[in-house]
Amino acid sequence: MMKTFLKASTLVRVPALFGVMSLACVPQAQAQCLCIINNQNEIVCGRPIISVEAALAERNNALARLREAQAKREAAIAELQLASVSFARITALFNQGALSRQPLDNSQRDRAVAQAALAAADQKIQAAQANLEFAETVLRQAQVNNKRE
C-alpha cells in the first residue's frame, strides 16, 4: 500500500479532507493511503483514498438525490397552488357569510404548511447541489490521483 503523508499544519481545508475520507471506498490491496501527521509528528489518521469507481458512484447518488429534491419541490409548488386557490375560495365564502371561521382558519393553516414545505424543499435542493458539487470535486481528485499511480 502506497502512503502519502501530509503535515497537519500544511492542510488548509481539513474538514473537506475528512469529508472525503468518510465516503465509501472500494478496498484494494494497492490502494493509496492518506496519513495526516499532527504538529507532534504523530500519525492521526490513515485511510484509503476513495477510488474513481466509488467517487463516480457517490457523484451519481448525489445527482439522484438532487433530482429527487427537485421533484419534491415541484410537488410542493403544486400543493401550495392548491392551498392558495382553496384559501381564496374559502375566504370569499366566509366574506359572504356562507361559512364559519373554522374552515377559513383551516385553509389558512394549510396554505402556511404548504409554504413551509416549499421552503424546506428549496433548502433540500441547496443541500443536494452542495453535495453534488462536493462529490464532483472528489471524483475529479480521484481521477487525478488515479493518473498519478
Average pLDDT over residues 94-110: 97
Q: Are residues 42 and 60 in the same domain?
A: no
Residue 107, domain extent: 53-143
Position 149 in a domain: no
Position 114 in a domain: yes
Position 148 in a domain: no
Q: Are residues 26 and 41 in the same domain?
A: yes
Average pLDDT over residues 64-77: 98
Of 64-78, 111-125, 132-146, minimum mean pLDDT range: 132-146
Average pLDDT over residues 34-47: 53
Taking the C-alpha atoms of residue 86 and residue 94, their distance in angstroms, rounded to an integer, is: 12
Q: Judge residue 44's burial from the number of C-beta atoms within 10 Å of its C-beta, 0-12 exposed, 13-18 middle, 19 or more buried.
A: exposed
Q: Which residue has the higher pLDDT, 23 or 46?
A: 46
Question: How many structural domains is the chain composed of?
Answer: 2
